[in-house]
Amino acid sequence: MSQDRPTVDVMTIAKRDLEAGEVLDDFGGYTFHGVMDRFEAARAENALPVGLAPGAKLSVPKKIGDMITWDDVMLDETQTVVKLKT
């Protein structure tokens, strides 16, 4: 069975309380983890895809377990992954 559109996405979730200005570390680090959900649900919640999280700078504080959204971060626009996803 082939799919012509994404069916799932992995949302970025705070691993601990985070302060505005913190830069999210890399996969397996201490600032975030990913949670999979239906693509439509993740998009409806404006969830930041976990693939874009490393190096993103928080513009607002987040509590442990909070979803991190596109509006919560400043991305490095020079990264290839950011150019492809946005």
Domain boundaries, the chain: 8-81
Taking only the tens place, the pLDDT of each residue in 11-41 is 999 999 999 999 999 999 999 999 999 999 9
Encode pLDDT of 37-83 as tens digits: 999 999 999 999 999 999 999 999 999 999 999 999 999 778 777 77
- Return the CATH number of the domain spanning residue range 8-81: 3.90.1210.10
Split at pLDDT 50, 70, 90, the class of 1 is low
Q: What is the pTM of this model?
A: 0.88
Alpha helices in the chain (DSSP H): 39-44, 80-85
Q: Which residue has the tokens 């442990």?
A: 64
Contact 72, 17 (CB under 8 A): no
